[in-house]
């Protein structure tokens, strides 16, 4: 059975470790108060179906439990039916795997094209995975010197299969097995809304090359939502410091890669 766990922002003030039946766990990094997930070993086929995530604990993020930013005027902007998601992490000896299942009331992909590897992903329905590979929690990971890019950055997938890694040291690297890969699919529900599925495989190379099982990396997820066919209307982050969740690593959570 796939299980969901809520991870509200106020839990960053707690201490100790909460384990989930030995299949996954979340905790606060000792001495730093950083909400931390644990990526356990798992064999994953990246196909956008999430079938092989059975038994892995997912974290649920809603506008009430995550960091919600709105740029539109929709009357149901803070509804979980409009935008919410669950995600999970695991790893093998070579890479970090991320699964995201998004609930969205309308699917919009008017600003990107399938096959793009330098898409304006943030203007459509998309998932962005943020990595701080050296875990230095830099307050401005997008400065003009691009110093933090060599340790990760943002890896974006649009629901139509477009992608971008322009805010990393590896632009246009999507689909390369020695960098990162991903897959997406979607399903329309009986109520007219959509369930969107995303899978990622991110090699240690795109985190700086020195990351290995046993390390801890900075990590968060941002789901972008376009409802009206123009620019982004909402964004929902697992952890972040608004209004600069995308560039302030100090507000992100973390992932511990089990040794």
Does a structural domain hold residue 9?
Answer: no
Give the structural domain span for 195: 41-51+60-257
The residue ranges of the chain whose pLDDT is under 70 are 1-32, 72-78, 228-231
32-71 burial string, b = 16+ CB within 10 Å, else e? eebbbbbbbebebebebebebbeebbbbbbbbebbbbbbe
Supply the pLDDT for residue 172: 94
Judged by DSSP in three states, 165 sits in: coil
Does a structural domain hold residue 182?
Answer: yes
Does a structural domain hold residue 165?
Answer: yes
Supply the pLDDT for residue 142: 93
Could you tell me the CATH number of the domain that includes residue 117? 2.60.40.1190
Of the candidates 83, 77, 167, the residue with the CA atom closest to the CA atom of residue 125: 83
Q: Which residues contact 199 (CB under 8 A, 6 or more apart)?
A: 44, 46, 47, 48, 49, 50, 97, 98, 99, 100, 182, 183, 184
Does a structural domain hold residue 36?
Answer: no
Q: How many residues does the chain have?
A: 259
pTM: 0.86
Does a structural domain hold residue 24?
Answer: no
Supply the pLDDT for residue 20: 34
Domain count, the chain: 1
Neighbours of 30 (CB within 10 A): 11
Supply the pLDDT for residue 132: 98
Supply the pLDDT for residue 72: 55
Supply the pLDDT for residue 33: 83
The 10s digit of each residue's pLDDT in 153-196 is 999 999 999 999 999 999 999 999 999 999 999 999 999 999 99
Supply the pLDDT for residue 77: 61
Does a structural domain hold residue 19?
Answer: no
Cross-strand bridge partners of residue 141:
none
Backbone angles phi, psi at 225, to 5 degrees: -135, 120
Does a structural domain hold residue 101?
Answer: yes
Does a structural domain hold residue 187?
Answer: yes
Q: Which residues contact 8 (CB under 8 A, 6 or more apart)?
A: 64, 65
Residue 217 tokens, joined: 């990396």
């Amino acid at each position: 059975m796939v299980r969901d766990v809520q991870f509200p922002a106020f839990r960053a003030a707690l201490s100790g470790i909460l384990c989930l039946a030995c299949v996954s766990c979340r905790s606060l990094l000792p001495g730093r108060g950083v909400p931390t997930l644990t990526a356990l070993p798992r064999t994953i086929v990246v196909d956008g179906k999430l079938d092989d995530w059975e038994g892995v604990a997912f974290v649920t993020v809603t506008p009430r439990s995550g960091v919600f930013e709105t740029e539109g005027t929709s009357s149901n902007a803070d509804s979980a039916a409009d935008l919410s998601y669950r995600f999970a992490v695991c790893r093998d000896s070579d890479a970090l795997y991320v699964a995201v299942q998004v609930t969205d009331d309308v699917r919009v992909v008017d600003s990107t094209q399938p096959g793009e590897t330098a898409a304006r992903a943030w203007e459509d329905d998309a998932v962005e995975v943020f990595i701080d590979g050296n875990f230095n929690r830099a307050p401005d990971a997008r400065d003009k010197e691009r110093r933090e890019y060599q340790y990760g950055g943002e890896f974006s997938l649009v629901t139509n299969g477009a992608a971008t890694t322009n805010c990393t040291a590896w632009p246009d690297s999507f689909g390369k097995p020695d960098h990162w890969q991903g897959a997406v699919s979607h399903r329309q529900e009986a109520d007219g809304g959509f369930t969107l599925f995303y899978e990622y495989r991110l090699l240690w190379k795109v985190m700086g090359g020195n990351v290995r099982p046993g390390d801890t990396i900075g990590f968060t997820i941002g789901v972008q939502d376009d409802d009206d066919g123009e620019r982004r209307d909402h964004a929902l982050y697992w952890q972040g410091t608004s209004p600069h969740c995308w560039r302030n690593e100090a507000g992100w959570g973390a992932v511990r890669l089990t040794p």
